[in-house]
């Protein structure tokens, strides 16, 4: 066997390996797993009431059930809980397909939050009793979880939170209000961060798993917002809310580490639905630019339009590659802090800029409500805020570059 043959032989052996599967997920924007879910979503999640639900801020329960029945809420969860136990790259491919095929970006955001934020945190940090109680429902969608960290006065500076968990006989008493909590109005259980000892700063922060039915827990009204209006979102107030010691996730004071770990996954991957949506936005804008004629020419033949759409392609491809790089690193157990921060920035800024270009390219049709183009722009704006605002991602990158804090 020549050296070249040996090399080829090695490649052939490697073609079924996890590393090759990962590479395939990264490089193949037309991956069959992604396209199959996109096709399924176009068929099963196209909902004629979307425009009305977007106006009224209504969550689509039936769509949620279909996503659960398809197994998409259990993509990453262990088979012990009924999940598919996929590595990140394989799971993200299907979530990307969901974003591509489903025009209800808010429904996709709800699903990705359950999989990537709530589900991952519960599986990694919940006690055996907590995971046994909540994970199977998270996987089927019968149970909805929320992740409650932010407060009115503690957003980017998350560890300055004011919600307290005062140790008392056999448990803790929670007091305080969490803000902007995704899925709160429909949630069955909340992962909540509070301080068990304000004098310890971040080392006093502790995580709890609190069922929505707990006395003293009140969920506010669904708050209308600019985009992702079909994902319900509210404040959650704890008033002399007693939880038993078994509600604690991890040790007292471990909350900051749990939050940091959850954020690394969230900033790396939470934009996956928006990256799928950006591909759809680009496809629609290209189709429109090929058929819409002005001055006797398709508008896509004008360099101004063609170059603007080329920029969207660049933004989409960059965001996608950075997200799968972060995924490959995390599934190898390597540090992905830089890759995740870059992924969050590229995904959110690329999606926002791309959706704005799409509005411009569609002209008045982009600006009126009935074609849904402006809805994508509103939906894709929030990514620069949730999961750590862009300024925070840039701080992380600057620190990792060695710039002074």
Cβ atoms of residues 276 and 96 within 8 Å: yes
Closest CB to ligand FAD among 200 and 385?
Answer: 385
CA distances from 193 to 95, 120, 134, 205, 340 (A): 27, 16, 18, 7, 23
Closest CB to ligand FAD among 40 and 138?
Answer: 138
Binding site for ligand FAD (CB under 6 A): 147-150, 155-156, 180-182, 228, 233, 382, 385-386, 388-392, 395
Q: Minimum Å distance from CB 290 to ligand FAD? A: 33
Q: Minimum Å distance from CB 352 to ligand FAD? A: 13
Q: Where are the alpha helices (DSSP H) in 200-336?
A: 255-269, 272-291, 303-331
Closest CB to ligand FAD among 72 and 263?
Answer: 263
Cβ atoms of residues 202 and 196 within 8 Å: no
* The pair of three-digit structure tokens given for residue 324, joined into one six-digit string: 């799968």
**Catalytic residue at 266?**
yes
Q: What is the largest CA-CA distance in the chain?
A: 79
Q: Minimum Å distance from CB 182 to ligand FAD? A: 3
Q: Which of 67, 16, 59, 77 is nearest to 37 (CA)?
A: 67
Other beta carbons within 10 angstroms of residue 158's beta carbon come to: 19
Distance of CA 57 to the CA centre of its chain: 19
Q: Minimum Å distance from CB 161 to ligand FAD? A: 9
Q: Minimum Å distance from CB 123 to ligand FAD? A: 18
Cβ atoms of residues 182 and 109 within 8 Å: yes
Cβ atoms of residues 259 and 149 within 8 Å: yes
Closest CB to ligand FAD among 141 and 145?
Answer: 145
Other beta carbons within 10 angstroms of residue 8's beta carbon come to: 12
Closest CB to ligand FAD among 134 and 233?
Answer: 233
Token look-up 């009204």 returns 221
CA distances from 354 to 115, 145, 391 (A): 25, 31, 20
Q: Minimum Å distance from CB 363 to ligand FAD? A: 28
Q: Minimum Å distance from CB 146 to ligand FAD? A: 6
Active-site residue identified among 96, 123, 252, 266: 266
Q: Which of 342, 311, 267 is nearest to 112 (CA)?
A: 267
DSSP β-bridge partners for residue 208:
192, 248
* The pair of three-digit structure tokens given for residue 279, joined into one six-digit string: 């591909």
Other beta carbons within 10 angstroms of residue 378's beta carbon come to: 16
Q: What is the spatial distance between Cα 146 and Cα 119, in angstroms, rounded to a whole number?
A: 9
Closest CB to ligand FAD among 118 and 319?
Answer: 118
Closest CB to ligand FAD among 165 and 328?
Answer: 165
Cβ atoms of residues 224 and 53 within 8 Å: no
Catalytic residues: 266
């Amino acid at each position: 066997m020549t050296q070249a043959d040996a090399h080829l032989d090695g490649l052939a052996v490697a073609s079924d390996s996890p590393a090759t599967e990962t590479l395939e997920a990264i490089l193949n924007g037309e991956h069959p797993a992604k396209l199959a879910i996109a096709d399924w979503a176009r068929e099963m999640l196209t909902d004629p009431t979307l425009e009305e639900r977007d106006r009224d801020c209504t969550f689509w329960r039936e769509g949620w059930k279909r996503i659960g029945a398809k197994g998409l809420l259990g993509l990453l969860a262990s088979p012990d809980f009924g999940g598919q136990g996929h590595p990140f790259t394989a799971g993200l491919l299907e979530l990307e397909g969901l974003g591509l095929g489903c025009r209800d970006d808010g429904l996709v955001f709800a699903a990705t939050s359950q999989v990537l934020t709530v589900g991952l945190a519960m599986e990694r940090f919940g006690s055996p009793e907590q995971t046994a109680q909540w994970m199977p429902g998270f996987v089927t969608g019968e149970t909805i979880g929320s992740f409650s960290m932010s407060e009115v006065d503690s957003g980017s500076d998350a560890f300055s939170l004011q919600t307290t968990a005062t140790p008392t006989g056999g448990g803790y008493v929670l007091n305080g209000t969490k803000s902007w909590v995704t899925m709160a109005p429909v949630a069955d259980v909340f992962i909540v961060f509070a301080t068990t000892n304000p004098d310890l700063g971040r080392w006093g922060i502790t995580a709890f798993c609190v069922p929505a039915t707990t006395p003293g827990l009140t969920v506010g009204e669904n708050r209308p917002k600019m985009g992702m209006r079909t994902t319900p979102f509210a404040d959650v107030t704890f008033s002399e809310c007693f939880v038993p010691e078994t509600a604690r996730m991890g040790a007292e004071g471990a909350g900051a580490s749990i939050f940091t770990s959850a954020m690394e996954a969230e900033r790396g991957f939470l934009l996956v639905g928006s990256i799928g949506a950006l591909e759809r936005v680009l496809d629609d804008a290209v189709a429109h630019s090929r058929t819409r004629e002005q001055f006797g020419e398709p508008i896509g033949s004008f360099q101004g339009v063609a170059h603007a759409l080329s920029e969207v392609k660049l933004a989409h491809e960059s965001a996608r590659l950075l997200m799968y790089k972060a995924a490959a690193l995390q599934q190898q157990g390597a540090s992905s802090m830089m890759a995740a921060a870059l992924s969050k920035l590229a995904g959110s800024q690329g999606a926002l800029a791309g959706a704005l270009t799409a509005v411009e390219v569609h002209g008045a049709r982009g600006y009126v409500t009935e074609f849904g183009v402006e809805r994508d722009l509103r939906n894709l704006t929030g990514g620069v805020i949730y999961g750590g605002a862009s300024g925070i991602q840039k701080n992380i990158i600057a620190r990792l570059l060695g710039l002074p804090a």
